[in-house]
Structure 1
Amino acid sequence: MTDFVFPLLAQAAPAAQNAAEAGVDPGSIWRVVIIVAYLLLLLALGLGAGRLFTGSSEDYLLASHSIGPFLLLMSLFGTTMTGFALVGSSGEAYAYGVGIYGLLASSSGIVHSLCFFVLGVKLWGWGKKYGYTTQAGFFRDRLDSRNIGLVLVPILVGLVIPYLLVGVIAGGKAIEGATAGDFPQLFESTKGAIPAWLTELVVCGVVLTYVFAGGMRGTAWANAFQTCLFMILGVVAFYIIATKMAESAVEAGRVQYASGPNEGELRTEPPEGFFDSLRIVSSEIPRAKRVRAEVSDDADLIGTVEAPAVFRKREGLDPWQFATYLLIPFSVGMFPHLFQHWLTAKSAATFKLPVVVHPTFIAIVWVPCVLIGAWATTGLVDLPPPFIFDEVQIEAKRDALIAEGMTPAAADAAVAELGPEGSANKVLGYMVSKLSGKILGGFLLAGVLAAIMSSLDSQFLCIGTMFTKDLVEYYAPAGKYTDRQTVVMSRGFIILIVAVTYVLSLLMGDSTRVFPLGIWCFSGFASLFPIIFLAVYWRGLTKWGAYAGILAAAGTWAAMFYAADFAANADYYLYLPIPGYRTVQLMPVTGMFLASALATVIVSLVTPKPSAATLAKFFPEKV
């Protein structure tokens, strides 16, 4: 591991010296070196896990059911904490405020653990007993349906691709935002920032390498390492950013004594510890929020707050919309990569630690990211364009494009990079870079990449598993393919999907916000939750009911995704008029979830049940 990392660090000093002579900040070189060193360490870890590979497909795909409580916790948490949780949440908090935490993070902690307990333990037991490696394998046995994989697998792969895009785009934009202006001679087109396409290519290559070498064991080891890294560095970044911004607030004369003999007077002493810093910076959020909402009659208020210009008028969130947001975390019940991680557990008792600790871990990650995004709106840190922008000019540009014949949706996409919605993905990277310094920023950015890559690896592996186990191997004559051939085919399909994802990231990266894309992806998986839940707990579920539910979920998701301009329209909702009350606003997942659940139940009630032997296999009579 050290054979290539230490030589790299040894070469960094002369490289930094040469950079200084060429007009490049040596700190920028050190930051890149730190990130590259981290990626090399990750590769070494994956290659080390590969030395324990037994050569069997079960070991490659499920680590021979040998994962203990700590590794399972790290794998499950690392897999669910994607670029959506870090880059997406901070960007969305920058654009819409801290309320984003209440929409998803607070409910996710409870719902995720509930799914681990209610679904994970039972599916692990059946998987170990009957040898399942994928969801389609379970459904085939449970429903007496040989061909259900032909319907389910393409839909799952289709939903995983946007999930992959969330991570790939988040990584590229985070590094681009963090390195803005660092290398003007190398990357003129991005104003000196490392371009997103380069970071995305490197991330895909590194993850592919250690997944290929170590399989599920390498993925679990890498997840544990990366999860520990991004949690520790995330807390460090949170502390540094809060402290620096609080000091700026005091120096700018924006802090008053809250109590004591000097109450109401301007404060001159620096912050007294972390919690004092947290209070000072967070107190700036409401004032900046009122400025963005265009409460411009209050001259005194405007004179005391230098916040970014208004970009979206704040309106109260419909309680029905908030309530239906709670359906989205149920997506974890149908994540194919999470299903595969459940099956790696050594025993049912292994699930105890993840069920108990997972909610706390979610808070540790989400709270800092959401607050950092909200703090970016306070005016305590200098934000360059396009973070600071002129909305009048943006609106004029949009109107001009429409006048030239462009559709409103296309015009919105064309001006997306000019305003906060286009720059939201870069907020976290910029804040970390701006407030932590070059070298420490390198470590913190490595932590951001760790969070993003800790989910990509599991998704890559599950895609290969579904292709080989559910499509190729299942329909081939017995014994046609050896274990080694199965592994090779799995790797080949993974390369194909990653290539497709990378091309899509190049086409969509500039106009796609990570958070809305993630919401649409999770909504699709959540709409399939009724099927897996009923398969585990309802004897009456039939294969035709499952087919109906899968097709209803996929059909409604595709129709709504198209209607929302492929996630470009962030204001796409369902509207339900309630007689005698009012028209309520619902999240799109509501329609998908209900369509899937109703189709599954209604069709199951009127179609033949599975055989008595199948029901006895999964629902044995209690003695």
Structure 2
Amino acid sequence: MTLTLQLGIIVGYLLLALAIGLFAYRLTDRTAEDFYLASRTFGTIVLLFTTFATLLSAFTFFAGPNIAYAQGPEWVLVMGLMDGIIFAILWYVIGYKQWLLGQSYGYVTLGEMLGDRFGSTWLRGLVAGVSLLWLFPYVMLQQVGAGTALEALTEGAVPYAVGAGLITAFMILYVVVAGMRGIAWTDTVQGAFMLVVTWVALLWLLAVIGGPGAATSALEAEAAHHLALGSDFYTVQWMLSTAITIGFGVAMFPQVNQRFFAAGSKTVLKRSFALWPILCVLLFVPSFLIGAWARGLDVTIPEGANVLPIVLAEYTPVWFAALVIAGAMAAMMSSSDSMLLSGSSYFTRDLYRPFVDRTISERREDLLARIGVVAFATAAFAASLWNPATLFELGDAAFSGFAQLALPVMVALYWRRTTRAGITAGIVASQLFYLSSLFLGFVPATYAGWSAGLVGMGLGLVVTVGVSFVTTPAADERRAIYFERLGAD
């Protein structure tokens, strides 16, 4: 009976999300721009919550509490506070300029925007290829998170592979049917739902164990060092490296970056980034505190398991724990469906169209995008079954990989002297350096405590600027288009 109730709640919630997508499908034009960007019509609430829900992933709900449980609550400062502020600033610095360019030139992807400015199909393809490379482990992360969450909640009755397969099937069906409009509508509902249910989960847990004072006392008795700021794990270098690479990486995530193009007006964009840090704190604080306080509770967390579903299963009713996990899985689906949608646009517009068929019609591109979603999600699912890394390792690799793009893009947006050779060299150098730090044992992962991801960002900046200084702009570069009067209200 318990298992039936748990699965009924989870599947019911996913079906509700699918129903919203089906309704949105009836309002969707059969054009690539509407499929990818909902015809650039988002208002403040929808833009804010679709961006928010897009980032509510397994990294947030499982990796975050796991880190707080193992290492202490300072993770709230890294992900909840510093990242919220960093990304809000980048939303303005990068996002507003991108929105203006999208309004003026109709760009759908970051690769289109850069390829047009620098007159380079190969640069466009490079940006798309790098983005798809790092998108793959982050899609995998959602499938791993869903599989482990369902396995823990049902005490093994639902195997890992079944849970991962369930969310894969739903996200394929959802993206193929709904497009950006349906995703955004569902994101708005799911983002608001997760804000409420996460706070209710925290308050419920505290009511059962005797309040925050009792929770803190229990944590002090079990792991007193968790209550002191800083540790061998939470060094200044690690915290800053992590916050910066995650914040800059988020700005380059295709599913987030494309939302910079989708705002309905300048006012919508500005209101959204102003509210962003508040929203981050409201969500991350309760989920990470549950993870931190769980260390002092009388509950066994097996090695490699996710803290949140185990604690909720122990201290809250079956139906509520299942509801939270259903919401978390829906949040993972919000991340995955947006990633798959954006990944398909990068493939069709930046790889297939310029390199295979320049004359492809809008309708055919729309169909190709949906086929690409199925192929990408299926491949990620297969990879998730083969000895995946931890959720934090997968997420951190993706964030840092995307962060390597951020500074070359910022230089291009604001420095007229940037050349095609400069930005290409900056992207290639930083990507090769960071990939080497992951896969070549003789390349260090840290430098005096600073992560290779952050060092790679600095390398990309230096190479972009240095090569631009010593090279001449190509004849077909359009150096003025980022600096013309860009007006859109």
Q: Which moved more, 1:459-468 or 1:607-616?
A: 607-616
Distance 1:331 1:291, change over 3 A: closer
1:440 equivalent to 2:320? Answer yes
Pick from 248, 252, 258: which aligns with 1:330?
A: 248
The residue that corresponds to 2:134 in the other structure is 159
Q: What per-residue deviation string (whole Å, max 9, x for no partner) do you get for residues 107-151 of structure 1? A: 111011111111111101111211111111000112122321222
1:235 equivalent to 2:153? Answer no
The residue that corresponds to 1:109 in the other structure is 84
1:278 equivalent to 2:278? Answer no
CA positional deviation for 1:621: 7.6
Taking only the aligned residue pairs, the percentage that are identical comes to: 27
Pick from 493, 500, 519: which aligns with 2:396?
A: 519
Pick from 7, 28, 43: which aligns with 2:3?
A: 28
Distance 1:179 1:155, change over 3 A: same
| Structure showing the higher helix proportion among its residues | 2
Pick from 488, 492, 496: which aligns with 2:367?
A: 488
Q: What per-residue deviation string (whole Å, max 9, x for no partner) do you get for residues 189-211 of structure 1? A: xxx43112111111111111121
Paired letter, 1:239: L
Aligned residues of 1:333 and 1:532 also touching (Cα < 8 A):
no
Aligned residues of 1:75 and 1:220 also touching (Cα < 8 A):
yes
Aligned residues of 1:119 and 1:533 also touching (Cα < 8 A):
yes
Determine the C-alpha separation between the residues in 2 that align with 1:613 and 1:524: 27
1:340 equivalent to 2:340? Answer no
Question: Gaps spanning 5+ residues in structure 1: where?
Answer: 1-25, 181-191, 247-276, 294-313, 389-419, 567-571, 576-583
Determine the C-alpha separation between the residues in 1 that align with 2:261 and 2:243: 26
Q: What per-residue deviation string (whole Å, max 9, x for no partner) do you get for residues 561-591 of structure 1? A: 114799xxxxx7423xxxxxxxx31122122
User: Which secondary structure does the structure 2 equivalent of 1:528 belong to?
Assistant: helix
CA positional deviation for 1:449: 1.1
1:538 equivalent to 2:415? Answer yes
User: Which secondary structure does the structure 1 equivalent of 2:449 belong to?
Assistant: strand
Determine the C-alpha separation between the residues in 2 that align with 1:340 and 1:214: 17
1:615 equivalent to 2:479? Answer yes
CA positional deviation for 1:318: 3.3
Determine the C-alpha separation between the residues in 2 that align with 1:30 and 1:526: 42
The residue that corresponds to 1:17 in the other structure is none
Determine the C-alpha separation between the residues in 2 that align with 1:552 and 1:541: 16
Determine the C-alpha separation between the residues in 2 that align with 1:316 and 1:562: 23
Aligned residues of 2:86 and 2:244 also touching (Cα < 8 A):
no
CA positional deviation for 1:346: 0.8
Aligned residues of 1:157 and 1:463 also touching (Cα < 8 A):
yes
The residue that corresponds to 1:557 in the other structure is 434
CA positional deviation for 1:159: 0.4
Pick from 324, 332, 351: which aligns with 1:471?
A: 351
Pick from 235, 244, 260: which aligns with 2:208?
A: 244
Determine the C-alpha separation between the residues in 2 that align with 1:72 and 1:41: 21
Determine the C-alpha separation between the residues in 1 that align with 2:232 and 2:92: 37
The residue that corresponds to 2:376 in the other structure is 497
User: Which secondary structure does the structure 2 equivalent of 1:462 belong to?
Assistant: helix
Aligned residues of 2:115 and 2:121 also touching (Cα < 8 A):
yes
CA RMSD of superposed structures (Å): 2.3
> Which residues of 2 match residues 153-552 of structure 1 at below 5 A?
153-180=128-155, 192-246=156-210, 277-290=211-224, 315=232, 317-328=234-245, 329-378=247-296, 380-383=297-300, 387=301, 420=303, 422-423=304-305, 426-476=306-356, 480-509=359-388, 512-552=389-429
Aligned residues of 1:234 and 1:447 also touching (Cα < 8 A):
no
CA positional deviation for 1:352: 2.5
CA positional deviation for 1:326: 3.3
Determine the C-alpha separation between the residues in 2 that align with 1:527 and 1:595: 9
Aligned residues of 2:204 and 2:316 also touching (Cα < 8 A):
yes
Determine the C-alpha separation between the residues in 2 that align with 1:497 and 1:205: 12
The residue that corresponds to 1:257 in the other structure is none
TM-score, normalised to structure 2, is: 0.94
Distance 1:317 1:54, change over 3 A: closer
Aligned residues of 2:71 and 2:233 also touching (Cα < 8 A):
no
Determine the C-alpha separation between the residues in 1 that align with 2:351 and 2:216: 52
Distance 1:444 1:351, change over 3 A: same
Determine the C-alpha separation between the residues in 2 that align with 1:128 and 1:440: 44
Aligned residues of 2:183 and 2:337 also touching (Cα < 8 A):
yes
Q: Which moved more, 1:458-467 or 1:469-478?
A: 469-478
Question: Gaps spanning 5+ residues in structure 2: where?
Answer: none
Q: Relative CO higher for 1 or 2, CA cutoff 8 Å, sep ≥ 6?
A: 2
The residue that corresponds to 2:63 in the other structure is 88
Determine the C-alpha separation between the residues in 2 that align with 1:475 and 1:156: 17
CA positional deviation for 1:319: 2.5
CA positional deviation for 1:317: 3.8
Aligned residues of 1:164 and 1:456 also touching (Cα < 8 A):
yes
User: Which secondary structure does the structure 2 equivalent of 1:147 belong to?
Assistant: helix
CA positional deviation for 1:611: 5.5
Paired letter, 2:430: A
Distance 1:613 1:469, change over 3 A: closer
Q: What per-residue deviation string (whole Å, max 9, x for no partner) do you get for residues 265-298 of structure 1? A: xxxxxxxxxxxx12321232233114899xxxxx
Determine the C-alpha separation between the residues in 2 that align with 1:565 and 1:116: 36
Q: What per-residue deviation string (whole Å, max 9, x for no partner) do you get for residues 470-516 of structure 1? A: 112234555x322221111111222121111101111134xx22112
Q: What per-residue deviation string (whole Å, max 9, x for no partner) do you get for residues 185-244 of structure 1? A: xxxxxxx43112111111111111121112111111111121112111111111111211
Determine the C-alpha separation between the residues in 2 that align with 1:444 and 1:318: 32
Q: What per-residue deviation string (whole Å, max 9, x for no partner) do you get for residues 380-432 of structure 1? A: 2332xxx26xxxxxxxxxxxxxxxxxxxxxxxxxxxxxxx3x22xx2111111
Determine the C-alpha separation between the residues in 1 that align with 2:71 and 2:199: 23
From the CA coordinates, give the structure whose radius of gyration is larger: 1
Q: What per-residue deviation string (whole Å, max 9, x for no partner) do you get for residues 291-318 of structure 1? A: 899xxxxxxxxxxxxxxxxxxxx63643
Aligned residues of 1:115 and 1:332 also touching (Cα < 8 A):
no
CA positional deviation for 1:609: 2.4
> Which residues of 2 match residues 584-595 of structure 1 at below 5 A?
584-595=448-459
Distance 1:477 1:447, change over 3 A: closer
Aligned residues of 2:309 and 2:325 also touching (Cα < 8 A):
yes
